[in-house]
Protein backbone atom coordinates (compact mmCIF):
# COMPACT_ATOMS: atom_id res chain seq x y z
CA UNK A 1 0.00 0.00 0.00
CA UNK A 2 2.71 2.59 0.87
CA UNK A 3 4.45 1.78 -2.42
CA UNK A 4 1.23 2.23 -4.38
CA UNK A 5 0.52 5.49 -2.59
CA UNK A 6 4.01 6.79 -3.37
CA UNK A 7 3.66 5.79 -7.03
CA UNK A 8 0.35 7.63 -7.28
CA UNK A 9 1.91 10.75 -5.76
CA UNK A 10 4.75 10.64 -8.31
CA UNK A 11 2.32 10.20 -11.20
CA UNK A 12 0.17 13.02 -9.86
CA UNK A 13 3.21 15.30 -9.62
CA UNK A 14 4.32 14.47 -13.16
CA UNK A 15 0.86 15.15 -14.60
CA UNK A 16 0.65 18.42 -12.68
CA UNK A 17 4.12 19.59 -13.74
CA UNK A 18 3.52 18.83 -17.42
CA UNK A 19 -0.07 20.00 -17.87
CA UNK A 20 -1.18 22.21 -14.96
CA UNK A 21 1.97 23.89 -13.60
CA UNK A 22 2.08 27.70 -14.06
CA UNK A 23 5.06 27.14 -16.39
CA UNK A 24 3.35 24.40 -18.42
CA UNK A 25 3.13 26.67 -21.48
CA UNK A 26 6.90 27.01 -21.70
CA UNK A 27 8.55 24.66 -24.24
CA UNK A 28 10.87 21.81 -23.34
CA UNK A 29 11.16 18.00 -23.47
CA UNK A 30 8.58 15.97 -21.58
CA UNK A 31 10.94 14.70 -18.87
CA UNK A 32 12.44 18.15 -18.35
CA UNK A 33 8.98 19.54 -17.63
CA UNK A 34 7.92 16.50 -15.60
CA UNK A 35 10.70 16.03 -13.03
CA UNK A 36 13.99 17.39 -11.77
CA UNK A 37 15.80 14.20 -12.84
CA UNK A 38 16.95 15.57 -16.23
CA UNK A 39 18.52 18.54 -14.47
CA UNK A 40 20.26 16.39 -11.86
CA UNK A 41 21.48 13.94 -14.52
CA UNK A 42 23.29 16.62 -16.51
CA UNK A 43 24.67 18.33 -13.41
CA UNK A 44 26.04 14.97 -12.25
CA UNK A 45 27.59 14.26 -15.66
CA UNK A 46 28.95 17.83 -15.81
CA UNK A 47 27.55 18.59 -19.28
CA UNK A 48 24.68 20.89 -18.32
CA UNK A 49 26.09 23.72 -20.47
CA UNK A 50 25.94 21.55 -23.60
CA UNK A 51 22.52 20.13 -22.75
CA UNK A 52 21.03 23.59 -22.26
CA UNK A 53 22.59 24.81 -25.51
CA UNK A 54 20.95 21.92 -27.36
CA UNK A 55 17.59 22.71 -25.76
CA UNK A 56 17.80 26.30 -26.97
CA UNK A 57 18.74 25.15 -30.47
CA UNK A 58 15.69 22.87 -30.57
CA UNK A 59 13.07 24.86 -28.65
CA UNK A 60 14.14 28.46 -29.16
CA UNK A 61 15.11 31.46 -27.02
CA UNK A 62 12.93 30.47 -24.05
CA UNK A 63 13.14 26.92 -22.71
CA UNK A 64 12.05 25.07 -19.58
CA UNK A 65 14.93 23.21 -17.93
CA UNK A 66 13.16 21.97 -14.79
CA UNK A 67 9.56 21.91 -13.52
CA UNK A 68 9.96 25.33 -11.89
CA UNK A 69 12.80 26.86 -13.93
CA UNK A 70 13.21 28.24 -17.41
CA UNK A 71 16.00 30.07 -19.23
CA UNK A 72 16.19 32.93 -21.72
CA UNK A 73 18.71 33.63 -24.48
CA UNK A 74 17.64 37.20 -25.18
CA UNK A 75 20.20 39.78 -24.02
CA UNK A 76 17.36 42.27 -23.49
CA UNK A 77 15.97 40.19 -20.64
CA UNK A 78 19.09 40.27 -18.47
CA UNK A 79 18.34 43.56 -16.77
CA UNK A 80 14.85 42.32 -15.90
CA UNK A 81 16.31 39.22 -14.24
CA UNK A 82 19.49 40.45 -12.59
CA UNK A 83 19.23 44.22 -12.76
CA UNK A 84 18.67 46.64 -9.93
CA UNK A 85 16.15 49.47 -10.01
CA UNK A 86 16.24 52.14 -7.29
CA UNK A 87 13.36 51.89 -4.81
CA UNK A 88 12.28 48.57 -6.32
CA UNK A 89 12.77 45.10 -4.83
CA UNK A 90 15.12 42.79 -6.69
CA UNK A 91 14.54 39.19 -7.68
CA UNK A 92 15.79 36.71 -5.09
CA UNK A 93 18.82 34.55 -5.74
CA UNK A 94 17.97 30.87 -6.21
CA UNK A 95 17.74 29.54 -2.61
CA UNK A 96 19.35 26.27 -3.72
CA UNK A 97 22.48 28.19 -4.69
CA UNK A 98 22.57 30.46 -1.67
CA UNK A 99 25.81 30.59 0.30
CA UNK A 100 24.30 32.47 3.22
CA UNK A 101 25.72 31.30 6.50
CA UNK A 102 28.02 28.76 4.85
CA UNK A 103 30.57 29.33 7.61
CA UNK A 104 27.96 29.02 10.33
CA UNK A 105 27.64 32.73 11.08
CA UNK A 106 24.31 33.28 9.34
CA UNK A 107 25.63 36.61 8.07
CA UNK A 108 25.48 37.79 4.49
CA UNK A 109 28.32 37.83 2.00
CA UNK A 110 28.62 40.08 -1.03
CA UNK A 111 26.79 37.36 -2.99
CA UNK A 112 23.85 36.95 -0.61
CA UNK A 113 23.37 40.40 0.90
CA UNK A 114 20.22 42.44 0.21
CA UNK A 115 20.75 45.15 -2.35
CA UNK A 116 21.52 47.99 0.06
CA UNK A 117 23.97 45.87 2.09
CA UNK A 118 25.47 44.45 -1.11
CA UNK A 119 26.11 47.98 -2.35
CA UNK A 120 27.94 48.87 0.87
CA UNK A 121 30.14 45.75 0.72
CA UNK A 122 30.85 46.24 -2.95
CA UNK A 123 31.73 49.90 -2.46
CA UNK A 124 34.15 49.16 0.38
CA UNK A 125 35.79 46.15 -1.26
CA UNK A 126 36.12 48.08 -4.50
CA UNK A 127 38.83 50.22 -2.89
CA UNK A 128 41.03 47.13 -2.67
CA UNK A 129 40.54 46.24 -6.34
CA UNK A 130 40.38 49.70 -7.87
CA UNK A 131 42.74 50.79 -10.62
CA UNK A 132 44.68 52.92 -8.14
CA UNK A 133 45.02 50.13 -5.56
CA UNK A 134 46.13 47.54 -8.12
CA UNK A 135 48.73 49.90 -9.53
CA UNK A 136 50.07 50.32 -5.99
CA UNK A 137 50.48 46.53 -5.96
CA UNK A 138 52.27 46.50 -9.31
CA UNK A 139 55.56 45.30 -7.74
CA UNK A 140 53.69 42.16 -6.59
CA UNK A 141 52.38 41.55 -10.10
CA UNK A 142 55.83 42.16 -11.57
CA UNK A 143 57.44 39.72 -9.13
CA UNK A 144 55.08 36.88 -10.01
CA UNK A 145 55.04 37.55 -13.74
CA UNK A 146 58.86 37.50 -13.64
CA UNK A 147 58.65 34.18 -11.80
CA UNK A 148 56.28 32.80 -14.44
CA UNK A 149 58.65 33.81 -17.23
CA UNK A 150 61.63 32.37 -15.34
CA UNK A 151 59.85 29.02 -15.01
CA UNK A 152 58.93 29.07 -18.70
CA UNK A 153 62.50 29.81 -19.76
CA UNK A 154 63.75 26.97 -17.55
CA UNK A 155 61.25 24.54 -19.06
CA UNK A 156 61.55 26.04 -22.56
CA UNK A 157 60.69 23.34 -25.12
CA UNK A 158 59.24 20.96 -22.53
CA UNK A 159 55.55 21.28 -21.57
CA UNK A 160 55.08 22.99 -18.23
CA UNK A 161 52.17 23.45 -15.84
CA UNK A 162 52.13 26.98 -14.47
CA UNK A 163 50.37 27.92 -11.23
CA UNK A 164 50.05 31.68 -11.61
CA UNK A 165 46.58 32.47 -10.44
CA UNK A 166 46.39 31.63 -6.76
CA UNK A 167 49.85 32.96 -5.98
CA UNK A 168 48.99 36.44 -7.25
CA UNK A 169 45.55 36.90 -5.75
CA UNK A 170 46.26 35.26 -2.39
CA UNK A 171 49.30 37.49 -1.95
CA UNK A 172 47.11 40.52 -2.60
CA UNK A 173 44.48 39.33 -0.10
CA UNK A 174 46.59 37.56 2.54
CA UNK A 175 50.03 39.09 1.92
CA UNK A 176 51.27 35.48 1.85
CA UNK A 177 51.61 33.33 -1.29
CA UNK A 178 50.56 29.69 -1.62
CA UNK A 179 53.94 29.04 -3.33
CA UNK A 180 52.36 27.16 -6.23
CA UNK A 181 54.82 28.72 -8.65
CA UNK A 182 57.99 28.15 -6.65
CA UNK A 183 57.10 24.59 -5.64
CA UNK A 184 55.05 23.69 -8.78
CA UNK A 185 52.59 21.88 -6.49
CA UNK A 186 49.09 22.82 -5.42
CA UNK A 187 48.73 24.20 -1.91
CA UNK A 188 46.20 22.25 0.17
CA UNK A 189 43.70 25.15 -0.03
CA UNK A 190 43.87 25.16 -3.83
CA UNK A 191 43.38 21.40 -4.12
CA UNK A 192 40.57 21.54 -1.59
CA UNK A 193 38.83 24.26 -3.61
CA UNK A 194 38.80 22.22 -6.82
CA UNK A 195 37.80 18.97 -5.10
CA UNK A 196 34.99 20.63 -3.15
CA UNK A 197 33.45 22.51 -6.05
CA UNK A 198 32.28 19.28 -7.72
CA UNK A 199 30.36 18.14 -4.65
CA UNK A 200 28.86 21.60 -4.15
CA UNK A 201 27.48 21.60 -7.69
CA UNK A 202 25.59 18.35 -7.23
CA UNK A 203 24.30 19.35 -3.79
CA UNK A 204 22.93 22.57 -5.27
CA UNK A 205 20.75 20.66 -7.73
CA UNK A 206 19.53 18.21 -5.07
CA UNK A 207 18.79 21.09 -2.72
CA UNK A 208 16.00 22.26 -4.94
CA UNK A 209 13.56 19.49 -4.32
CA UNK A 210 39.51 30.48 11.53
CA UNK A 211 40.37 33.44 11.60
CA UNK A 212 41.93 34.87 8.41
CA UNK A 213 44.63 37.53 8.18
CA UNK A 214 43.68 40.18 5.64
CA UNK A 215 46.33 42.90 5.82
CA UNK A 216 46.06 44.14 2.26
CA UNK A 217 42.30 44.60 2.24
CA UNK A 218 42.34 46.45 5.57
CA UNK A 219 45.26 48.61 4.49
CA UNK A 220 43.59 49.66 1.25
CA UNK A 221 40.23 50.54 2.78
CA UNK A 222 39.90 54.29 3.45
CA UNK A 223 40.69 55.02 7.09
CA UNK A 224 37.31 56.60 7.80
CA UNK A 225 35.52 53.49 6.54
CA UNK A 226 37.59 50.71 8.12
CA UNK A 227 35.10 50.25 10.92
CA UNK A 228 32.13 49.72 8.57
CA UNK A 229 33.20 46.39 7.07
CA UNK A 230 34.23 44.43 10.14
CA UNK A 231 36.79 41.57 10.23
CA UNK A 232 34.08 38.89 10.23
CA UNK A 233 32.58 40.37 7.06
CA UNK A 234 36.01 40.37 5.47
CA UNK A 235 36.57 36.76 6.57
CA UNK A 236 33.28 35.68 4.99
CA UNK A 237 34.05 37.45 1.72
CA UNK A 238 37.69 36.45 1.25
CA UNK A 239 36.95 32.94 -0.15
CA UNK A 240 34.59 34.58 -2.64
CA UNK A 241 37.27 37.08 -3.65
CA UNK A 242 39.79 34.28 -4.14
CA UNK A 243 37.38 32.20 -6.19
CA UNK A 244 36.12 35.14 -8.25
CA UNK A 245 39.52 36.60 -9.02
CA UNK A 246 41.71 33.54 -9.28
CA UNK A 247 39.33 31.18 -11.08
CA UNK A 248 38.39 33.93 -13.53
CA UNK A 249 42.07 34.50 -14.23
CA UNK A 250 42.84 30.80 -14.63
CA UNK A 251 39.90 30.34 -16.99
CA UNK A 252 40.59 33.43 -19.04
CA UNK A 253 44.32 32.75 -19.22
CA UNK A 254 44.01 29.13 -20.32
CA UNK A 255 41.08 29.77 -22.66
CA UNK A 256 42.79 32.69 -24.39
CA UNK A 257 46.03 30.71 -24.74
CA UNK A 258 44.15 27.84 -26.35
CA UNK A 259 42.17 29.98 -28.81
CA UNK A 260 45.21 32.06 -29.76
CA UNK A 261 47.36 28.97 -30.26
CA UNK A 262 44.72 27.34 -32.46
CA UNK A 263 44.27 30.37 -34.74
CA UNK A 264 47.40 31.44 -36.70
CA UNK A 265 45.70 34.61 -37.97
CA UNK A 266 44.82 35.88 -34.50
CA UNK A 267 48.18 34.70 -33.14
CA UNK A 268 50.13 36.67 -35.76
CA UNK A 269 48.07 39.83 -35.33
CA UNK A 270 48.39 39.77 -31.54
CA UNK A 271 52.13 39.06 -31.63
CA UNK A 272 52.63 42.01 -33.97
CA UNK A 273 50.71 44.37 -31.66
CA UNK A 274 52.59 43.30 -28.53
CA UNK A 275 56.12 43.16 -29.96
CA UNK A 276 55.77 46.50 -31.72
CA UNK A 277 54.55 48.13 -28.50
CA UNK A 278 57.34 46.96 -26.16
CA UNK A 279 61.08 46.73 -26.57
CA UNK A 280 61.94 45.70 -23.00
CA UNK A 281 60.06 43.90 -20.25
CA UNK A 282 60.25 47.02 -18.06
CA UNK A 283 57.96 48.78 -20.53
CA UNK A 284 55.21 46.21 -19.92
CA UNK A 285 53.20 47.89 -17.16
CA UNK A 286 49.57 47.85 -16.08
CA UNK A 287 48.95 51.20 -17.78
CA UNK A 288 50.68 50.29 -21.04
CA UNK A 289 49.05 46.88 -21.55
CA UNK A 290 45.66 48.52 -21.00
CA UNK A 291 46.27 50.47 -24.21
CA UNK A 292 46.56 47.34 -26.39
CA UNK A 293 43.20 47.26 -28.18
CA UNK A 294 43.58 43.95 -29.96
CA UNK A 295 44.73 42.19 -26.79
CA UNK A 296 41.59 43.48 -25.06
CA UNK A 297 39.35 42.16 -27.84
CA UNK A 298 41.11 38.77 -27.73
CA UNK A 299 40.39 38.50 -24.00
CA UNK A 300 36.77 39.57 -24.50
CA UNK A 301 36.30 36.94 -27.19
CA UNK A 302 37.94 34.26 -25.04
CA UNK A 303 35.61 35.20 -22.19
CA UNK A 304 32.60 34.97 -24.52
CA UNK A 305 33.43 31.46 -25.74
CA UNK A 306 34.77 30.23 -22.41
CA UNK A 307 32.90 31.99 -19.56
CA UNK A 308 34.24 31.28 -16.05
CA UNK A 309 30.84 30.06 -14.83
CA UNK A 310 29.13 27.95 -17.53
CA UNK A 311 26.28 26.83 -15.27
CA UNK A 312 22.76 28.28 -15.16
CA UNK A 313 22.38 31.57 -13.30
CA UNK A 314 18.85 31.97 -12.00
CA UNK A 315 16.74 34.23 -9.81
CA UNK A 316 13.45 33.54 -8.05
CA UNK A 317 10.77 35.99 -9.08
CA UNK A 318 9.14 38.20 -6.48
CA UNK A 319 5.81 37.12 -4.87
CA UNK A 320 3.75 39.30 -7.20
CA UNK A 321 5.30 37.78 -10.33
CA UNK A 322 6.26 39.89 -13.34
CA UNK A 323 5.94 40.28 -17.10
CA UNK A 324 8.90 39.53 -19.37
CA UNK A 325 8.95 39.72 -23.15
CA UNK A 326 5.20 40.32 -23.07
CA UNK A 327 4.53 37.12 -21.10
CA UNK A 328 3.37 36.95 -17.48
CA UNK A 329 5.68 34.91 -15.23
CA UNK A 330 4.17 33.61 -11.97
CA UNK A 331 5.70 34.23 -8.56
CA UNK A 332 8.41 31.95 -7.14
CA UNK A 333 9.39 30.67 -10.59
CA UNK A 334 13.11 30.44 -11.30
CA UNK A 335 14.16 32.39 -14.37
CA UNK A 336 17.70 32.76 -15.63
CA UNK A 337 20.32 32.45 -18.33
CA UNK A 338 23.01 29.95 -19.19
CA UNK A 339 25.82 32.21 -20.35
CA UNK A 340 27.64 29.48 -22.26
CA UNK A 341 24.58 29.02 -24.47
CA UNK A 342 23.72 32.73 -24.60
CA UNK A 343 27.20 33.90 -25.58
CA UNK A 344 27.35 31.38 -28.44
CA UNK A 345 23.87 32.11 -29.75
CA UNK A 346 23.76 32.92 -33.47
CA UNK A 347 20.87 35.29 -32.78
CA UNK A 348 23.28 37.69 -31.08
CA UNK A 349 26.77 36.71 -32.24
CA UNK A 350 27.36 36.06 -35.94
CA UNK A 351 29.33 32.80 -36.28
CA UNK A 352 28.92 32.45 -32.53
CA UNK A 353 30.94 29.22 -32.29
CA UNK A 354 33.98 30.80 -33.93
CA UNK A 355 36.83 32.75 -32.32
CA UNK A 356 36.64 36.20 -33.95
CA UNK A 357 38.08 38.93 -31.68
CA UNK A 358 37.38 41.63 -34.29
CA UNK A 359 33.68 41.51 -33.40
CA UNK A 360 34.53 43.60 -30.31
CA UNK A 361 36.36 46.30 -32.27
CA UNK A 362 33.25 47.71 -33.91
CA UNK A 363 30.26 46.54 -31.85
CA UNK A 364 29.06 47.29 -28.37
CA UNK A 365 29.08 43.61 -27.46
CA UNK A 366 30.70 44.50 -24.14
CA UNK A 367 27.21 45.14 -22.75
CA UNK A 368 26.65 41.38 -23.00
CA UNK A 369 29.23 40.89 -20.26
CA UNK A 370 27.59 43.33 -17.82
CA UNK A 371 24.82 40.84 -17.24
CA UNK A 372 24.75 40.53 -13.47
CA UNK A 373 25.96 43.24 -11.13
CA UNK A 374 27.01 40.51 -8.67
CA UNK A 375 29.09 38.68 -11.26
CA UNK A 376 31.08 41.73 -12.26
CA UNK A 377 32.97 41.96 -8.98
CA UNK A 378 36.17 43.98 -8.79
CA UNK A 379 38.31 40.80 -8.75
CA UNK A 380 37.31 40.43 -12.40
CA UNK A 381 39.33 43.58 -13.11
CA UNK A 382 42.19 41.92 -11.23
CA UNK A 383 41.86 38.97 -13.63
CA UNK A 384 42.14 41.29 -16.64
CA UNK A 385 45.18 43.02 -15.17
CA UNK A 386 46.91 39.69 -14.53
CA UNK A 387 46.04 38.31 -17.93
CA UNK A 388 47.15 41.37 -19.87
CA UNK A 389 50.50 41.39 -18.11
CA UNK A 390 51.09 37.66 -18.50
CA UNK A 391 50.00 37.49 -22.14
CA UNK A 392 52.07 40.54 -23.07
CA UNK A 393 55.17 39.09 -21.43
CA UNK A 394 54.51 35.61 -22.83
CA UNK A 395 54.18 36.74 -26.45
CA UNK A 396 57.02 39.24 -26.20
CA UNK A 397 59.43 36.53 -25.02
CA UNK A 398 58.11 33.31 -26.58
CA UNK A 399 56.51 31.75 -29.60
CA UNK A 400 54.25 28.86 -28.71
CA UNK A 401 52.07 26.19 -30.26
CA UNK A 402 49.40 23.89 -28.86
CA UNK A 403 50.57 20.27 -28.80
CA UNK A 404 48.40 17.63 -30.56
CA UNK A 405 47.40 16.01 -27.25
CA UNK A 406 45.61 19.26 -26.35
CA UNK A 407 43.83 19.76 -29.68
CA UNK A 408 40.45 19.07 -28.03
CA UNK A 409 41.31 20.74 -24.73
CA UNK A 410 38.22 22.92 -24.99
CA UNK A 411 35.89 19.90 -24.75
CA UNK A 412 35.54 20.03 -20.98
CA UNK A 413 33.13 19.09 -18.25
CA UNK A 414 31.67 21.87 -16.15
CA UNK A 415 30.73 22.00 -12.50
CA UNK A 416 30.49 25.44 -10.90
CA UNK A 417 33.69 26.07 -12.86
CA UNK A 418 35.40 24.22 -15.70
CA UNK A 419 37.25 20.95 -15.06
CA UNK A 420 40.35 22.07 -16.91
CA UNK A 421 42.86 19.43 -18.06
CA UNK A 422 46.50 20.36 -18.61
CA UNK A 423 46.99 22.63 -21.60
CA UNK A 424 50.15 21.32 -23.23
CA UNK A 425 52.15 23.81 -25.31
CA UNK A 426 55.58 23.90 -26.92
CA UNK A 427 57.54 27.07 -26.18
CA UNK A 428 60.38 28.63 -28.13
CA UNK A 429 62.19 31.80 -26.95
CA UNK A 430 61.87 34.64 -29.44
CA UNK A 431 64.87 34.84 -31.76
CA UNK A 432 65.81 31.17 -31.42
CA UNK A 433 65.15 28.67 -34.20
Q: What share of the chain is helix, strand, coil (3-state, %, to 5)?
A: 55, 10, 35
Q: What is the pLDDT of residue 239?
A: 58
Instruction: Please give the C-alpha separations between residue 331 and each of 21, 23, 76, 88, 233, in angstroms, as whole numbers.
Output: 12, 11, 21, 16, 32
**Residue % of the chain over a pLDDT of 70:** 61
pLDDT tens digits, 395-405 = 999 999 998 98
- DSSP-derived 3-state class of residue 67: coil
Q: What is the pLDDT of residue 94?
A: 64
d(CA 112, CA 100) in angstroms, rounded, equals 6
Comparing 172 with 3, the larger pLDDT belongs to: 3
pLDDT class of 163 with cuts at 50, 70, 90: very low
Residues in the chain, total? 433
Comparing 155 with 218, the larger pLDDT belongs to: 155
pLDDT class of 54 with cuts at 50, 70, 90: very high
pLDDT tens digits, 73-88 = 876 677 777 766 666 6
CB 379 within 8 A of CB 217: no
pLDDT tens digits, 11-33 = 889 999 899 888 999 999 999 99
pLDDT tens digits, 283-333 = 999 899 999 999 999 998 998 999 888 888 888 777 666 777 777 788 788
CA 98 from centre of chain:
17
d(CA 339, CA 348) in angstroms, rounded, equals 12
d(CA 428, CA 68) in angstroms, rounded, equals 53
Find which of 132-136, 234-238, 239-243, 386-390 is predicted with most confidence, using mean pLDDT: 386-390
pLDDT tens digits, 350-361 = 899 999 999 988
- CATH assignment at residue 115: 1.10.630.10
How many domains does the structure of the chain reveal?
1
* Enclosing domain of residue 106: 2-429
d(CA 187, CA 151) in angstroms, rounded, equals 18
Can you state the angle between helices 264-277 and 293-305, rounded to 10 degrees?
140
Contacts of 243 (CB under 8 A, 6+ apart): 193
Q: Per-residue pLDDT for 244 more than 70?
A: no
As a whole number, the mean pLDDT across the chain is 75
Q: What angle do CA 341, 346, 351 make, to 5 degrees?
A: 110
d(CA 340, CA 371) in angstroms, rounded, equals 13
Q: What is the pLDDT of residue 174?
A: 46
Mean pLDDT of 57-80: 86
DSSP state of 418: B
Amino acid sequence: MPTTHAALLVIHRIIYNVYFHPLSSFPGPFWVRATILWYIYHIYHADNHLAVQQLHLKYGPVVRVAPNEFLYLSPNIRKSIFGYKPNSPENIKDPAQSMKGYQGSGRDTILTAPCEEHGKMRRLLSHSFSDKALKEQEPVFAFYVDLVMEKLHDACVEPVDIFTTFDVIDHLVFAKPFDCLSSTKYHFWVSFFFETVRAITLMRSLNRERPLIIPTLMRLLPKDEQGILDPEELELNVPILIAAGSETTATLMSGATYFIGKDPRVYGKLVKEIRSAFKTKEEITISRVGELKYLSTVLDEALRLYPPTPTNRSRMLLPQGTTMEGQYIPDNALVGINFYAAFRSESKFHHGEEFVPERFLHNDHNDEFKHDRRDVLQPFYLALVEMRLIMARLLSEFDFEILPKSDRWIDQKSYVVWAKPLLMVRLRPVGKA
